[in-house]
Amino acid sequence: MTAENEWDGVALREISPEWAERVIFLPECGSTNDEARRLAIKGAPDLSVVLTGNQTAGRGRRGQRWECQPGEGLAFSMILRPQEPAALWSRFALASGLAVAEGLDSFGMSAGVKWPNDVWVAGKKICGVLVEADAEFVVVGVGLNVNVTEFPEGLDHPATSLALELGERCSREEVLVSCLRRLHLRLDQIGVGFGDLLDEWSTRCVLTGNDVRLDAGGALKTGRVEGVSSQGELMLRTQGGLEKVLQASEIRVL
């Protein structure tokens, strides 16, 4: 596998001409999520993808920056116009993380998912997903370490990349195509089919059976993860019993 110098869309067109037409490539931008939101407001259709060669102001959950040198990371955001009720939209984080983990399978990765929106390989973070919703659309942003070989100090969790795990650089476009294949399937399962999605997600969960500490809306909780509920909530066994956690801003394995 060799890394490409520029995006040319060949791999996308070979898979689906429609996909290639819906991918908007920006050589450089601040945040693909911000660009996707702007285009969605202007009426960009469902499943449009904003892709950049160099994201200069990427961010993750809690506003944390996502940084990497040009040509090293894969940053893209997909615009969704769901038919499902907004109450189910939080499930897009689980669906997206699973899709990316499955997309990495074809590169020889054994990827796991960390509730609710990270992808891990060998105990290290390789990808983060940021889901942002508006009244009429959802933006799913993906930041994936492809050819990154050095990471800044002070990260919340140890990080890795495809290049570090495989010992060689990869084509970011090939990685994108592999992830899009799975995203098109999994993002369609937040309503009907969510049970099947959860079954697959649970087999890759890196938190199950581990003691963790998390921040749930300002309340610090410590307990053992027993998986996820049928609605996608984290099942946490604390001293007070079994709790269902819908949202948490930070989760650390103890």
Domains detected in the chain: 10-204 (3.30.930.10), 211-253 (2.30.30.100)
- Characterize 136-174 residue by residue with b for buried, 16 or more Cβ atoms within 10 angstroms of its Cβ, and e for exposed: ebbbbbbbbbbbbeebeeeeeeebbbbbbbeeebbbbbb
Give the CA-trace dihedral at 76, 89, 133, 187, to 10 degrees.
20
Q: 15: pLDDT confidence band, cut at 50, 70 and 90? A: low
Task: Decide if pLDDT at 2 tops 90.
Answer: no
Helices (H), the chain: 10-15, 17-22, 32-41, 91-103, 162-166, 172-186, 194-204
Whole-number pLDDT of residue 71: 80
**pLDDT tens profile 173-206:** 889 989 999 999 999 999 999 999 999 999 999 9
What was the pLDDT predicted at 8? Answer: 57
What would the two tokens of residue 234 be? 């984290």
Name the percent of the chain lying above pLDDT 90.
68
pLDDT tops 50 at residue 142: yes
Average pLDDT for the chain:
88
Q: Can you give the pLDDT at residue 249? A: 76
Write down the pLDDT at residue 63.
Answer: 52
pLDDT at 152: 78
pLDDT for 92-135, tens place per residue? Answer: 999 999 999 999 999 999 999 999 889 999 999 999 999 999 99
Q: Average pLDDT of 142-154?
A: 88
Q: Are 32 and 50 in contact (CB under 8 A)?
A: yes
Instruction: State the pLDDT at residue 226.
Output: 97
Higher local confidence (pLDDT), 83 or 59:
83
User: Is the pLDDT assigned to residue 14 strictly greater than 80?
Assistant: no
Question: Would the pLDDT of 11 be above 80?
Answer: no
* CA 35 – CA 28 distance, rounded (Å): 11
Instruction: Report which of residues 217 and 64 the model is more confident about.
Output: 217
Query: Using one digit for the tens of pLDDT, what is the confidence trace for 152-182?
Result: 776 777 899 999 999 999 988 889 989 999 9
* pLDDT band at 7; cut points 50, 70, 90: low
The pLDDT of residue 64 is: 63
Which position has the token pair 């996707």? 36
pLDDT at 87 over 90: yes
